[in-house]
Amino acid sequence: MDPRIREHAEVVADHSVDLSAGDDVVIVAPPEADDLVTALHEVIGDRGANPIALSGNDRFQRAYLRARDEEFETPSHEQALIEETDVYIAIRANRNVTETSDVDPETNAAYSQAHQPILDERLSKRWCLTQYPAPANAQLAEMSSEAYENFVWDAILKDWDAVREHQAQMVDILDPADEVRIVSGDTTDVTMSVDGNPTLNDYGEKNLPGGEVFTAPIPDSVEGEVLFDKPLYHQGREVTGVYLEFDGGEVIDHSAEKNEDVLTEVLETDEGARRLGELGIGMNRDIDRFSYNMLFDEKMGDTVHMAVGRAYGDTVGEDNEQNQSAVHVDMIVDMSEDSYIEVDGEVVQRDGTFRFEDGEDD
Amino acid sequence: MDPRIREHAEVVADHSVDLSAGDDVVIVAPPEADDLVTALHEVIGDRGANPIALSGNDRFQRAYLRARDEEFETPSHEQALIEETDVYIAIRANRNVTETSDVDPETNAAYSQAHQPILDERLSKRWCLTQYPAPANAQLAEMSSEAYENFVWDAILKDWDAVREHQAQMVDILDPADEVRIVSGDTTDVTMSVDGNPTLNDYGEKNLPGGEVFTAPIPDSVEGEVLFDKPLYHQGREVTGVYLEFDGGEVIDHSAEKNEDVLTEVLETDEGARRLGELGIGMNRDIDRFSYNMLFDEKMGDTVHMAVGRAYGDTVGEDNEQNQSAVHVDMIVDMSEDSYIEVDGEVVQRDGTFRFEDGEDD
């Protein structure tokens, strides 16, 4: 077994979910990730905790959802399992990333809605979402399997304490700030207030890889226009050249080069889907390319991402409005060239170099 | 997908566990059985029930057990899951049947003991244990993968109502009986009382395949000697030519041609391990060969099996003693030639033909 698999398991256990003796642990993983799940069982055994492994197999889910036509209910056995667990570890890995492409989106949505109480319960635990480098995921990223393994493990097997300290410098700038302006080339110039909204430091706990700092814009404060450089991959379809224009916080105009209808559908989901729910700064420079996987893409070094839709509760100050929506769709702007981030009138990042990195190599 | 896989799933759902809309269902299966688990998800979706799939992967269990050195506890998350479920389906299938051969037996025993409350809970549900024909199981049976698939599905895809009716004739003989005598060649002549102990009809519900009728001997009533014709496969080791001599219900002498020490270890587990806990009559004639898999072997047509160790509660009359033990180890006598079963002095089966089959073809 590749020694990085055991290291990966140790990072999940010891860093991401802070595993202790006696913890009850749920692991959800597809068979492609068997090696990592085996290594996790070894670590969990060593730490004196209690694992149970669920099959996160897309084939099962597809077969079930296509066969079911009645209304869904919240299964009490699954809810009881999640209520009683201390730790929840979800591993992504695919045999075929388009396995559920012929499931009716409405069925999917009805299933998700019935499972919302279980999802909420899960998010109240110590949890981690990570990726195992399966060949189908390499294919989606247009990489060889070996190059993709290197890419995934370079992004994951890091000194996360050092990452936390490095990123804290950006948190210290953004957390007390009022106005943020993002400028890139001639196509992106957008301003928004983050006044009173906390900025969080993601250093590989709930998401592994981590590597971003993020907050929520004040919903009605967003003004200007953004051309997103990186494609959006939504429900199995690629949307390129996404352009959004904001006025009073709302998207008042939008277009895309490819699959604009997917973008339109997202924006028309509900009222909150036309407003921003997140502003994030990608700071993981080991993620040096786009891989059609938001778990990695949004942490890519020298990028900024904005999400239309729901804001995370812990990024919203208690006197501020939390943007509500059924969706949360991230989109990415490349900040590596001809770009800058301005906070309260001061440039804090230019062409991918932060103010606090002046004189440092990147 | 082989159409027999879908049929198999339907037999499990509709016959074995009597699935209804709204049922919460737990499936435990290794990745080798993915096709059957997919088909089960289709059937479960169609019937309006709620599945959750656990990974019954030997590699995980081995890694966990070898790493863990503290005492085991009963995990509350797994217990909550099983308490809340209505139906429990366990599927056996192996990639390597000796995967856990280097786990310390004491560790295994400690794990099992800590999980006993979960096992008890499971047995109180509608449950089914079945087999998917994986290549490693074919190898153990010394068969090609295709021949083994035919063997497994011939034994499973039967008219179970007809089986129930056929076997009921033997239940009607054994249930009210007092003394049973099993004679085979010069080597087996054993008598025992089953007075007051119910005889159960196994027609593919909790075990799939089914195909036996079984009861419990009165613990101190067993007298005589038995040479078991079929090998015993215990904890990854084969024991052949097992011979037991009984007096007052206790094994007073034993031997084996190969791996006698395994047999000795079983008999020395505790006091109950030296007494019989089960007498069963194998009646599934589609199981026409030994496959080193007790789920099949004990139901083989024209055989009798006896288990040393624990008696099943529902085969013990309320005024009778239930043999208690940590083990339950089945062993098989071939009754197809030079053999007979006598019940209260009357021959009820001779050379594999039951009294109620006289004039029938078998």
Kindly report the CA angle at B28 between B22 and B33, in degrees rounded to 5?
A: 110
Contacts of B326 by beta carbon, 8 Å cutoff, 6+ apart: B109, B269, B270, B273, B309, B310
CB contact under 8 A, B76 and A24: yes
CB contact under 8 A, A76 and B55: no
A233 pLDDT band, cuts 50/70/90, is confident
Cα distance from N-terminal residue to C-terminal residue, chain A: 33
What φ, ψ does residue A100 adopt, rounded to 5°? -100, 20
Question: Average pLDDT in the A260-275 region?
Answer: 93
Q: Tell whether the torsion through CA atoms of A281, A284, A289 and A293 is positive or negative.
A: negative
pLDDT of residue B109: 83
| H-helix segments, B94-210 | 105-114, 116-123, 135-140, 145-156, 160-174
CB contact under 8 A, A57 and B34: yes
pLDDT of residue A70: 72
CB contact under 8 A, A63 and B41: yes
Give the C-alpha separation, A93 to A104, whole Å: 22
Q: What is the DSSP string of A286-328?
A: T--S--S-HHHHTTBTTEEEEEEEPPPGGGS-TTSPPP--S-E
pLDDT of residue B72: 93
What φ, ψ does residue A97 adopt, rounded to 5°? -65, -15
pLDDT at A149 over 50: yes
Contacts of B82 in chain A (CB under 8 A): 77
Question: Average pLDDT in the A152-160 region?
Answer: 97
CB B118 within 8 A of CB B72: no
Which one, of A18, A68, A26, lies nearest residue A47 by Cα? A18
Q: 0.80 cut: is pTM over it? A: yes
Cα distance from N-terminal residue to C-terminal residue, chain B: 33
pLDDT at B327 over 70: yes
Instruction: Enter the tokens of residue B201.
Output: 């009809």
Name the helix (H) or strand (E) containing A207: strand A207-208
A234 pLDDT band, cuts 50/70/90, is confident
Q: How far is B204 from chain A (nearest CA, A)?
A: 25
The torsion of the CA quartet A160, A164, A170, A171, rounded to 10 degrees, works out to 140
Domains and CATH numbers, chain B: 3-157 (3.40.1830.10), 161-357 (no CATH)
Find the closest chain A residue to B59 by CA distance: A38
Q: What is the DSSP letter of B283?
A: -
Q: How far is A55 from chain B (nearest CA, A)?
A: 5
CB B322 within 8 A of CB B313: yes
pLDDT of residue A359: 60
CB contact under 8 A, A41 and B67: yes
| H-helix segments, B47-94 | 58-67, 76-84
What counts of helices (H) and strands (E) characterise chain B?
Answer: 11, 20
Selecting from B44, B51, B77 the residue whose C-beta is nearest the C-beta of A81 gives B77
pLDDT at A258 over 70: yes
pLDDT of residue B320: 96
Angle between helix axes A3-10 and A145-156 (nearest 10 degrees) is: 30
Contacts of A68 in chain B (CB under 8 A): 45-46, 48
Contacts of A10 in chain B (CB under 8 A): none
CB B46 within 8 A of CB B23: no
Tally of CB atoms within 10 A around B184: 24
Give the C-alpha separation, B95 to B331, whole Å: 25
pLDDT of residue B322: 96
CB contact under 8 A, B34 and A43: no
A362 pLDDT band, cuts 50/70/90, is very low
How many residue pairs from chains A and B have C-beta atoms closer than 8 A? 145
Q: How far is B152 from chain A (nearest CA, A)?
A: 23
pLDDT of residue A232: 87
CB contact under 8 A, B24 and A75: yes
Contacts of B50 in chain A (CB under 8 A): 73, 75, 77-78
Q: What is the DSSP string of A245-261?
A: EEETTEEEEEE-SB-HH
Identity at A280, one-letter amino acid code: G
Find the closest chain A residue to B47 by CA distance: A68
CB contact under 8 A, A54 and B52: yes
pLDDT at B139 over 60: yes
Q: How far is A211 from chain B (nearest CA, A)?
A: 30
pLDDT at A42 over 90: yes
Selecting from A45, A50, A53 the residue whose C-beta is nearest the C-beta of B57 gives A53
Contacts of B64 in chain A (CB under 8 A): 41-42, 44-45, 51
CB contact under 8 A, B39 and A63: yes
Q: Which of A61-65, A81-85, A282-286, B100-104 has the lowest mean pLDDT?
A: B100-104
CB contact under 8 A, B46 and A39: no
CB contact under 8 A, B55 and A50: no
